[in-house]
Amino acid sequence: MAEVAEIPLDEQIKKSGSSEEAVEGQLLTSNRIIAHVTDGIYREPWSAFRELVSNAYDADATTVSISTDYPFFSEIKITDDGNGMNASTLAHMLKNIGGSSKRTSEGKKLGTVSGEDPARSPGGRKLIGRIGIGLFAVAQLTKKFQIISKVKGSDKLVSATISLHAHEENKLADDDAEMYTGGSYLAHSERDPDTDAQGTTIVLYSILDAVRKKLQSAEMWETIEEQTRDDSLGNMQILRKPTYHIGRVDPKNEKVISEHELPWDDKDSSEQKFTEFFRAATEEKTLLREQKDLSHFDTYLEMIWRLSLSAPLPYIGEKHPFELTGDMPIRYFKLSNSPKGVAKETEFRPERTVAHAFGLDELNKNGNSEFEVQIDGVTLRRPVFISSELQGDKSLEKPMLFIGKSGELFKDIDPRRTGGKLSFEAYLYWNSKIIPKESIGALIRVNGASGALFDPEFLAYKTSEQTRKRQVTCEIFVHEGLDGAINIDRESFNSSSTHYLYIQQWLHNAFKQFATQHKRIGGIIREKKQRAQKESERKQSSEYVREIWEKTRGKNYAVPTPEIIKDKITRESIVQIGDSRIAWPENSSVETGDSDLQKEIATILEAYGVLEKLSPEKRAALVSDLIKLINIYR
């Protein structure tokens, strides 16, 4: 039976006018989008490293090692001990850039995802990558690279040397080809008798000159040198030499002309190096207050900071914020999900963790994966530390941690409208000073990873809270949903996504609850301090009055305690000191003033024998006039 040719879509649309039947079909995406992807979709070199680390994580790697060959950056190597690729997996990758096997049934056949859940790795991790363009992150760094990979149990390793092509915009405009050629490859396999070996190595050759200069901080060094030569600047410095750097390379002959000044010692362990790196990032820098907080780092060290912030890694100090315990000097609060809710202060047993006390699941979902990243011998950690000590002003006595969660959202609504279910947990941490400043704001982690940095505006929180905004670190851990709202560069979100809008609204409500409690507690503490100060002043004045009394009447003459009482017969307000009375008739215009002050003035006057010679009215007038005079000079 002969095949019936498919009627072209334009013909179907034309015929629909007479048939009165709408044409139905599926939207298709042009493969020419890869032309732009292969030229790089990421803004900074660190983003490329982030994507390669994410690929290793999705392949169940426990260790990723990056060697950059700094300060030259002539060749970069990324090695992981993940599941690796066989010939089939490599072939699929080479023929389907932008068509990842992750989250698909094809991935089950290739073994790149869990057989039970295509949104998880074979080892059960929630996948970070989605659409298979992470490998093209290397286009940000080079146009030529090699992949060498091995699957455990196999006696073969596979490799491919890939050359990426820069797209030609004018040519593409006239190109009707269905598939776009983004580059070329040479692939082969060879025997490797070590059947226990597994993992992938990516070698980046001929790093782009612009990238090398960026990582070498070449522009910064040139500016510093120029301002040194410019006599017209005098002692003014537009840009200061960074305290810590990888050294300077002469762009003409590629020789080191300035040795490195790193935060760590070469003899330190890989873990200790990062500890020293974190210490250097958070130390006070009085000479650099007017600059951004990490300005004492060069571009390479800033890259390490950002990479460590984005990857699904253990925290510095090996303690997740949800592992803090009830015995720490921190005030804990439970956030409400109600728009008019109030955060409630919560106390729990000293040995219990925040996770247990608030019923959180983040540690079970993303906190137990063994994953380590090293870059040039430095073992990275998440550079977020929840200190139990106030870093600046001590007026509020303790830091505060606000905990919240929201789950099973949109579960009964058509996922085509909402993007599916959404669940997340979060904390807002307040300290009088957040160090470094790069940690101020809100950071969203999806399945343990983040492409964005901290957002200091808390997802466009519009209420004027500039001081409090600078005192809060917030992390939102998304367990289900939102990844569909992540833009292709993984560094921002689709702000019109239902999931993003919900999280934005939730965060704004949470920040409002924090601000309300912060104001309330601040008010209570200020009032308490004012009372204490007033009590101290009263004590001082009382001691001074006693000194005067003892000076005039002698130490053995007891100081009478003035009392303000009502006369039983006349109902007049009077000050009674022993048998002496100062009366203020109820219809009198005399101002009594501060009762404690009038008592003390009356005591002093009594000590000198002044009151006994005056009538009750004149006694009252005398004390009142003295109080008025004192108030004038206050």
DSSP β-bridge partners for residue 203: 77, 146
Same domain for 145 and 37 = yes
Q: What is the pLDDT of residue 6?
A: 73
Query: What percentage of the chain carries pLDDT values higher than 90?
Result: 46
Q: What is the pLDDT of residue 101?
A: 53
Same domain for 564 and 467 = no
Q: What is the pLDDT of residues 356-376, one digit of tens each?
A: 999 999 998 886 678 999 999
Specify if 7 maps to a domain.
Answer: no
Q: What is the pLDDT of residues 481-503, one digit of tens each?
A: 998 888 877 888 999 999 999 99
Answer whether 321's CB lies under 8 Å from 476's CB.
no
Same domain for 625 and 518 = no
Same domain for 187 and 61 = yes
What one-letter code names the amino acid at 422? L
Note if the bond before 436 is cis, omega within 30 degrees: yes
- Residue 264 φ/ψ region, left for φ over 0, alpha for ψ in the -120 to 50 degree band, beta for the rest: beta
Torsion angle, alpha carbons of 267, 268, 273, 278, to 10: -120
Same domain for 412 and 366 = yes
Specify if 72 maps to a domain.
Answer: yes
**Range 245-253 contact pairs with CB under 8 angstroms and sequence separation of 24 or more:** 245/217, 245/297, 245/298, 245/300, 245/301, 246/70, 246/71, 246/216, 246/298, 246/300, 246/301, 247/71, 248/71, 248/216, 248/217, 248/221, 249/71, 249/72, 249/216, 249/218, 251/213, 251/218
Same domain for 571 and 521 = no
Specify if 306 maps to a domain.
Answer: no
Answer whether 158's CB lies under 8 Å from 187's CB.
yes
Specify if 437 maps to a domain.
Answer: yes
∠ CA 117-123-127 to the nearest 5 degrees?
60
Burial of 455 (0-12, 13-18, 19+ CB in 10 A): middle
Instruction: Give the integer Cα–Cα distance in Å for 511 and 456.
Output: 12
Same domain for 333 and 424 = yes
∠ CA 280-286-289 to the nearest 5 degrees?
95
Same domain for 580 and 484 = no
Q: Give the model's confidence band at 291: pLDDT under 50 very low, under 70 low, under 90 confident, else very high.
A: very low
∠ CA 363-369-372 to the nearest 5 degrees?
125
Q: What is the pLDDT of residue 373?
A: 97
Same domain for 564 and 521 = no
For residue 626, give its domain range.
560-633
Specify if 103 maps to a domain.
Answer: yes
At 402, give phi and psi (nearest 5°): -105, 125
Helices of type H across 263-397:
270-282, 299-310, 354-358, 362-366
Same domain for 566 and 514 = no
Specify if 312 maps to a domain.
Answer: no
Q: What is the mean pLDDT of the chain?
A: 84
Q: Helix, strand, coil shares of the chain as percentages rounded to 5?
A: 35, 20, 45
- Of 525, 549, 574, the position where a domain reaches its end is 525
Specify if 150 maps to a domain.
Answer: yes
CA proximity to 462, closest of 511, 502, 533: 511
Q: What is the pLDDT of residue 15?
A: 74
pTM for the whole thing? 0.82
CA proximity to 121, closest of 57, 176, 171, 179: 57
Same domain for 508 and 601 = no
Domain count of the fold of the chain: 3
9-13, 68-72, 354-358: which has the minimum mean pLDDT?
9-13
Q: CB under 8 Å to 429, separation ≥6 — which residues?
A: 321, 386, 399, 400, 401, 402, 472, 473, 474
Specify if 104 maps to a domain.
Answer: yes
- Give the number of other Cβ atoms within 10 Å of residue 104's Cβ: 16
Same domain for 567 and 518 = no
Q: What is the pLDDT of residue 625?
A: 85
Q: Which two tokens stand for residue 36?
A: 């732009």
